[in-house]
Each structure stands twice: as structure tokens, then as C-alpha cells.
């Protein structure tokens, strides 16, 4: 039997990414522009509450200001919209994140489209997704960016490789395909975007040099669906009974893979690290803009 797969240490790499943000945060804070993130949570989805808590904790540890707006599940659409508008105008808030999913009375798109693209640290606004598509990204969605950083920092070559993504969500699958297909560092891959309705899915997944599972189906990818030596990135987080499992059947797949991310401790911490990076970037852009305006005023 061949050796077991190498575990890709998402938790450790996320710590490294966050560590690198510290001097940038310290600089901005010293200039009176402490980075700030507003998180909006509507309703009581238990998974969302855990995610939001983890985002707040990360802010706290890094010295990023954070504000949580936890609204009842039956909050009217107009009220959520008004909150987003207020946050757009608030100069202390550099990043706005509205946790998904939203309750049914709140149309997700109408909210996401109202977040200022300059504060869109989730990278979900069509402006930011469009910029990603044309190869001129501003804010990248956190999970796809986290997957790319995991690969780069684990020294896994992406250029020229067959990347197969299983899952076509707007949050992960579609933007990740766009990111890895770009003519850019850490990209230049040939990307196949598959999903749960792909006939003969295993024929695609077996061709993958790098396989990304982001379909939201617990343990859907089995050992017989991958080739020897594949790199496997598992984006899934599913609760099955009292176990947390990914979209990959870990035991079987890790026997064939050269490297694989664990769940938990793989992609999850990277998503949060990239959110912190986007928040710092949003604050830097805000600071640069206000410094420029300040110069303009003194010049008159």
C-alpha cells in the first residue's frame, strides 16, 4: 500500500495569513483608521451563528473592530435594507458582511446588490464578481481565494493542471472556476466545473490533478472516483448525526490522494483569514482615499 496522503494544514496556513495582516492593521490603527467589519445576521440558523461567532473572534484577536447586528428572523426586508444603507455610509465600517442564507422574506440578491462594492468584503457583489471574471479582481470571494492561497502556500502547482470542481454555487464553485482559469500566478489551470447533475461525474473527477469538492453533499466523493496522487480540497462542512464531515469520504479518498484537506481544519479557517485580509484591504483603500481628499483640501 502507498503512503497515506499528506494533510494540508488549513488552520496553520490561515494563522500565517492572519499573522501577516498584523503590521498592516497596526499601521492603519496608528493613523486613526482601525479596520472595521460589520456583520449582519438575520434569524437563528445555528450554523450561521457559529460562523458569525468565529468571524467576530478572528476580528477580536487581530484588533479589527467588529459590530454584530443580530436581527430577528421576521425582520422586514426594508429594515435590513436600511441597515445596509446606514453601514454603507458609516466611515468606521470598512467591510460589510451579510451572513447567508437569509430568511425567505428577504430577497438575497436585493441585499447583496446594495452593499457598496467598496465594502463588499465577501466579494459577492456583481461588480466584484465581474471584475474577477475579466481578470481584474478587487475583492475576491473568501472561500475561493482561501482555496487558491492554500494551494499556493502548500507549494502545489496549479498552472497547467486539470482542476475539477464539483459544485456550482455562486459562493464557491463558479467564482473558484473563474479564479483558477485566469492567466495569473497560482492559476492558469484547465478547469472543469461539474455538479450534482453531471452525468458520469466520476469520469471527470478521475481526470483531476486537483479536485475541489464544494457540492454540499456529505461524503459524496469516494476513493474510486479519484486517481492516484490527486490533491483534494474539501470545502464541505456537513453535520451528520454528531459528526462533522466534508463532501469527501476522507478514509477512502486519502488512501489514493497525495494531499488532502481535513474537515474541520482545512478550508474553513482559510475563509475567515481571507475575510480578515479583505477587511484590511477595504480599510487601506478607505484610508488612501481619505488621505488623498485631505491633500486636495490643503492644496486649495
Using CB under 6 A as the criterion, which residues of the chain lie in contact with ligand GUN when the complex forms?
Answer: 97-100, 122, 142-143, 171, 271
Say whether the peptide bond before residue 117 is cis (omega within 30 degrees of 0): no
**Active-site annotation holder among 9, 118, 120, 122:** 122
Verify whether residue 227 is a known catalytic residue. Answer: no
254 and 5 in contact (C-beta within 8 Å)?
Answer: yes
Considering beta carbons, is residue 21 or 235 the nearer one to ligand GUN? 235
Tell me how far apart the alpha carbons of residues 197 and 175 are, in angstroms, rounded to a whole number: 19
Least spacing, CB of residue 193 vs ligand GUN, in Å? 19
**Minimal CB distance residue for ligand GUN:** 100
Considering beta carbons, is residue 166 or 253 the nearer one to ligand GUN? 166
Considering beta carbons, is residue 109 or 185 the nearer one to ligand GUN? 109
DSSP output for 72-95 = -TT--HHHHHHHHHHHHH-TT--E
Q: For residue 201, how far is the Cα from the chain centroid?
A: 25
Least spacing, CB of residue 55 vs ligand GUN, in Å? 9
242 to 101, 124, 262, 299: CA distances (angstroms): 22, 31, 17, 63
Least spacing, CB of residue 265 vs ligand GUN, in Å? 17
Q: What is the CA radius of gyration of the chain?
A: 20
**Active-site annotation holder among 9, 99, 247, 281:** 99
Tell me how far apart the alpha carbons of residues 265 and 249 are, in angstroms, rounded to a whole number: 16
Least spacing, CB of residue 99 vs ligand GUN, in Å? 5
Verify whether residue 16 is a known catalytic residue. Answer: no
Verify whether residue 292 is a known catalytic residue. Answer: no
Bridge partners (DSSP) listed for residue 68: 39
**Active-site annotation holder among 9, 18, 55, 209:** 55
Considering beta carbons, is residue 123 or 262 the nearer one to ligand GUN? 123
- Beta strand ranges found along 56-175 (DSSP E): 65-71, 95-98, 162-166
Considering beta carbons, is residue 123 or 186 the nearer one to ligand GUN? 123
Beta-strand relationship, 210-213 and 238-240: unpaired
Tell me how far apart the alpha carbons of residues 219 and 266 are, in angstroms, rounded to a whole number: 15
Least spacing, CB of residue 143 vs ligand GUN, in Å? 6
Tell me how far apart the alpha carbons of residues 99 and 39 are, in angstroms, rounded to a whole number: 7
Active site residues: 55, 99, 122
Amino acid at each position: 500500500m502507498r503512503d497515506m496522503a499528506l494533510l494540508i494544514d488549513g488552520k496553520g496556513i490561515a494563522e500565517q495569513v492572519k499573522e501577516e495582516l498584523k503590521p498592516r492593521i497596526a499601521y492603519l490603527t496608528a493613523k486613526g483608521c482601525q479596520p472595521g467589519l460589520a456583520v449582519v445576521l438575520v434569524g437563528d440558523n445555528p450554523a450561521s451563528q457559529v460562523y458569525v461567532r468565529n468571524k467576530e473572534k478572528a476580528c477580536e484577536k487581530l484588533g479589527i473592530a467588529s459590530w454584530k447586528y443580530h436581527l430577528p428572523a421576521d425582520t422586514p426586508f426594508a429594515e435590513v435594507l436600511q441597515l445596509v444603507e446606514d453601514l454603507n455610509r458609516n466611515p468606521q465600517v470598512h467591510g460589510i458582511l451579510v451572513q447567508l442564507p437569509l430568511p425567505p422574506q428577504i430577497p438575497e440578491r436585493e441585499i447583496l446588490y446594495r452593499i457598496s462594492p467598496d465594502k463588499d468584503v465577501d466579494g459577492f457583489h456583481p461588480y466584484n464578481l465581474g471584475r474577477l471574471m475579466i481578470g481584474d479582481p478587487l475583492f475576491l470571494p473568501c472561500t475561493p481565494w482561501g482555496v487558491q492561497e492554500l494551494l499556493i502556500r502548500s507549494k502545489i502547482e496549479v498552472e497547467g493542471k486539470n482542476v475539477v470542481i464539483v459544485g456550482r454555487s455562486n459562493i464557491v464553485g463558479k467564482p473558484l472556476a473563474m479564479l483558477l482559469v485566469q492567466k495569473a500566478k497560482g492559476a492558469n489551470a484547465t478547469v472543469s466545473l461539474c455538479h450534482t447533475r453531471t452525468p458520469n461525474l466520476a469520469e471527470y473527477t478521475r481526470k483531476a490533478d486537483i479536485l475541489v469538492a464544494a457540492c454540499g453533499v456529505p461524503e459524496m466523493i469516494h476513493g474510486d472516483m479519484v486517481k492516484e496522487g490527486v490533491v483534494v480540497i474539501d470545502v464541505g462542512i456537513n453535520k451528520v448525526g454528531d459528526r462533522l464531515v466534508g463532501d469527501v469520504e476522507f478514509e477512502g479518498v486519502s488512501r489514493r490522494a497525495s494531499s488532502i484537506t481535513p474537515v474541520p481544519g482545512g478550508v474553513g479557517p482559510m475563509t475567515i483569514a481571507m475575510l480578515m485580509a479583505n477587511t484590511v484591504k477595504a480599510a487601506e483603500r478607505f484610508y488612501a482615499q481619505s488621505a488623498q481628499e485631505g491633500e486636495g483640501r490643503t492644496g486649495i
